[in-house]
């Protein structure tokens, strides 16, 4: 089943595969901060969400490069800056007994691009 959510980018690893503890995961990923309505829809589907600073987030993953487009349908290049508004097309994978169903990243539309941070200290 293919579905769509909207939200703000929390973490983007769509131009290269993600790393965890210095190891390449082999997955492209996008973590999105969801509005309450989309968060509730995902919860009703049994998808587990992470709460961060009073908002709900979900990580969407793919083993393959993902199509990312701008609002005008032109291709988007590079990582999507934190805070950018996006629409994410995803599909659900098999049910995991502990973590619930997987969410596979399908396609991303950048609705409003945020200013990229030039210096990591700007986040603090």
pLDDT per position as a tens digit, 54-98: 999 999 999 999 999 999 999 999 999 999 999 999 999 988 887
- Burial profile 58-74: b = 16 or more Cβ within 10 angstroms, e = fewer: bbbbbeeebebeeeeee
pTM: 0.88
Task: Answer for the pair 41, 59: CB distance below 8 angstroms, yes or no.
Answer: no
What's the rounded Cα separation, in Å, for the pair 21 and 35? 29
């Amino acid at each position: 089943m293919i579905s769509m959510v909207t939200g703000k980018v929390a973490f983007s690893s769509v131009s290269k595969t993600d790393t965890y503890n210095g190891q390449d995961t082999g997955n492209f990923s996008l973590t999105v901060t969801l509005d309450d309505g989309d968060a509730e829809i995902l919860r009703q589907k049994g998808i587990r969400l992470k709460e961060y600073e009073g908002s709900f987030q979900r990580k969407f993953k793919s083993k393959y490069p993902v199509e990312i487009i701008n609002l005008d349908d032109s291709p988007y290049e590079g990582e999507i800056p934190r805070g950018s508004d996006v629409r994410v097309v995803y599909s659900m994978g098999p049910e995991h007994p502990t973590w619930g169903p997987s969410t596979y990243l399908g396609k991303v539309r950048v609705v409003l691009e945020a200013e990229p941070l030039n210096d990591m200290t700007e986040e603090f």
